[in-house]
Structure 1
């Protein structure tokens, strides 16, 4: 690493060290008249427990092996993808440089897709019990942990979050269900997550569009589970709770949404500008709805991933976020399915493309909790089997369709 890059990383590493040394529980923001008590990290972490749990994996395997739909079709889709290839050659870099909209793209696509491949191969291992898939996942994870040192340029936080969301999913499955990953490999991978990924994401990014910070907290939470780091876990959960009402609006929040905690965005005019000039606020509207549905989908997906990981760790946050999440899914599903857009929503013009992001939340709210979600169900079933967005979402019909666990 060059001296200039090393100097740039020292403040981040010092800040991370101070954070990890702290033991106090961070109390999250609570709007006036509400109660949102902090939840400390579990005394004992559950593994595998990042997005998917062992009971969920067992359910998936039983459904696929029985040839049941939609799981078998989703599995076949996954196995036909390049991400499941046993001949994949990882492409690690010491420095991954990602500018705005991945320009420049020096290792950005390679890193994201290698991380998704490791997760895909881990799923393939568990379902088939064929050790070749586990060994290929290990090869990819070992290759990156031996090389990567930094992320640079303007999109570094988001790039780190996307890859950092996929890596711990793969690592959790392999480490806790397969006996072939060496302690040297596990420890080096953990060091990579702590020293390369966490410093870039753990403090969030309060003034960016909301999908950034939500994805950053998804990655930080997943990494905290793999590292069994209670301080990072508590910090990620608190920031997630702070950010959620600044991304998805409910009329019970007040006349207009609040800005991200700690930002200068607090007047109505500033909020309208931050919400891409949307001045009328309705249940389920997102801070990025009037930007486009694709980025909105990134945020919704990260929210559902965080909630699912928390649930695996014994902290079911779905009752707390249920109304906000169901309204957001319903509103965006309605227009994604072709309903006419009123002039009060983004001037009557939307840029669609929500992506394969509804399965996890739909399963949690509708299938497990019994919440009616007619339009979200219609969109979810229409999109099955949900594939990948090639960034940090992959194979969620397989992992979460009608999964009771």
Structure 2
């Protein structure tokens, strides 16, 4: 599968390959970000010759807009910025604590050290990108460099695959923001991610820990897909990037779009679609909004529209999740799946009210994409975004790992 991407203007088509040819090198990243505001959608077209950088959760346009708006004191960007600067992880005095081996699940768990340091690196990188403060740039650089030079393995029980997925895509996003910073060891970060994170990502997507293909919830696939995509972008590795896009569309596991969103409703419930974990609980369901949202946003930065794939299937699922968590009723189709190694049958017959109404920083990215970039009516997503605004990040939603499943700060970075 080749990587295809064009953004379509009202009177002509201009691909990222064309933009790169016109402007060249790193300048193209800025041109693409600026040009994105002129285009109304994404369609399939010619594969870009090179990757756009920065080109994951934040392309040049998003970062530049946040910089300009914060400097001007405009809300909601300023409110989002104040949420960032108040976070303990965003302080330039943060000291990294790298480990050779990270353990998630079982005896000797220490993975909290990794996710706290990743979020500190990311938040300090944002402060450098938006305010230009070198102390924060130095801090982000030093955290990533320290882990790149130290980490050699991720282990534990099955949860090691969650660690490899979640922290792989998050680490790569922090590194992407720092890739041109003085003293930043990009090659070391690339090597560590390919040697430590990617093998576990691929092992899970290929073998699913030797379990029934439907045993693991959508989020397990999604975080590993996101990691493969992010590592591919950071490393300019088209094969990895294409692997993630292909899995999104055609994968056998529950992270592929038609498995993660198994039922699309019509009739009176037109515009809604059931999420795979909706019968489990709402915390993990909202986590899924963040994981699939991250995949779609990273692909968008490279010119691929996964947000709108299969007639906006993800949008319909996000509307469904938002509507239910706003306290309204939604339809539910019995969802059955196989568990364990022998695929023992289980089913959900009703939507779960566990953790209903939980707030996670996942909604502004979805709202500003569908409602502003695309100009679509997404009233439930919009209402959830308004309820959650201004969004914070890791450290603002409790000390446990669930509060670090998303990088956050969508109000600051995606407001339009």
- Tell me the TM-score normalized by structure 2: 0.75
**1:80 Cα offset (Å):** 0.7
8 A Cα contact 1:122 1:137, kept in partner:
yes
**1:354 Cα offset (Å):** 5.6
Q: Does 1:338 align with 2:327?
A: yes
8 A Cα contact 2:308 2:314, kept in partner:
no
CA deviation string 1:99-135 (max 9, x = no partner) = 1xxx556221111121111111111001110111111
Query: Residues 171 and 396 (structure 1 numbering): CA distance in 2 closer, same or farther, change over 3 Å?
Result: same
Q: Does 1:399 align with 2:401?
A: no
Query: Residues 86 and 105 (structure 1 numbering): CA distance in 2 closer, same or farther, change over 3 Å?
Result: farther
**1:158 Cα offset (Å):** 0.8
8 A Cα contact 2:279 2:351, kept in partner:
no
8 A Cα contact 2:271 2:316, kept in partner:
no
Q: Does 1:116 align with 2:105?
A: no
The Cα RMSD (Å) is 2.7
CA deviation string 1:289-328 (max 9, x = no partner) = 1111111122221222111111211223333255312221
- CA separation in 2, counterparts of 1:50 and 1:293? 26
Structure 1 range deviating more: 135-144 or 319-328: 319-328
Residue of structure 2 in register with 1:165 after alignment: 169
Partner residue of 1:92 out of 85, 90, 98: 98
**1:284 Cα offset (Å):** 1.6
Q: Does 1:210 align with 2:214?
A: no
Structure 1 range deviating more: 234-243 or 322-331: 322-331
8 A Cα contact 2:308 2:315, kept in partner:
no
Residue of structure 2 in register with 1:191 after alignment: 191
8 A Cα contact 1:174 1:181, kept in partner:
no
- CA separation in 2, counterparts of 1:354 and 1:219? 24
- CA separation in 1, counterparts of 2:359 and 2:217? 16
Structure 1 range deviating more: 290-299 or 332-341: 332-341
| SS class of match (2:404) | coil
- In the alignment, structure 2 segments of 5+ residues that lack a partner are 4-42, 251-255, 335-348, 394-402
Partner residue of 1:129 out of 126, 129, 132: 132
**1:86 Cα offset (Å):** 1.4
The count of corresponding residues between Structure 1 and Structure 2 is 337
CA deviation string 1:309-352 (max 9, x = no partner) = 11211223333255312221221112211224678785364112
Q: Does 1:60 align with 2:74?
A: no
- In the alignment, structure 1 segments of 5+ residues that lack a partner are 1-23, 27-36, 254-280
8 A Cα contact 1:138 1:181, kept in partner:
yes
8 A Cα contact 1:212 1:299, kept in partner:
no
Residue of structure 2 in register with 1:278 after alignment: none
Structure 1 range deviating more: 236-245 or 343-352: 343-352
| SS class of match (1:386) | coil
8 A Cα contact 2:217 2:276, kept in partner:
yes
- CA separation in 1, counterparts of 2:232 and 2:45? 15
8 A Cα contact 1:162 1:215, kept in partner:
yes
- CA separation in 2, counterparts of 1:227 and 1:342? 43
**1:160 Cα offset (Å):** 1.1
8 A Cα contact 1:41 1:234, kept in partner:
no
Partner residue of 1:222 out of 203, 226, 230: 230
Q: Does 1:144 align with 2:147?
A: yes
8 A Cα contact 1:122 1:134, kept in partner:
yes
| SS class of match (2:406) | coil
- CA separation in 1, counterparts of 2:167 and 2:96? 14
- Tell me the TM-score normalized by structure 1: 0.77
Partner residue of 1:234 out of 232, 237, 242: 242
